[in-house]
Amino acid sequence: MVDRERTVSQDEQRIELSIRDILTQLDIPQEKWPTELINPIPMNY
């Protein structure tokens, strides 16, 4: 069960990184990014 949670967290990080890449490629200024992408919420629970 711990492994599954770790995998989900890794997937979320990967998705977040690809969203950042897309926003960067589209030349969207950081001010318009969702706050979660600028200040990622730590997933510790």
Examine residue 43 and state whether it is found in any structural domain, yes or no: no
Rounded CA Rg of the chain:
13
CB 20 within 8 A of CB 37: yes
pLDDT at 40: 59
Give pTM, 2 decimals: 0.43
Number of independent structural domains in the chain: 1
Q: What is the pLDDT of residues 1-45, one digit of tens each?
A: 556 666 767 888 888 788 888 888 888 887 877 776 666 566 655
How far apart CA 42 and CA 9 sit, in angstroms, is: 10
* Structural domain boundaries, residue 32: 2-38
Q: What is the pLDDT of residue 31?
A: 80
- 45 in any annotated domain: no
Task: State residue 43's pLDDT score.
Answer: 61
Cβ atoms of residues 30 and 38 within 8 Å = yes
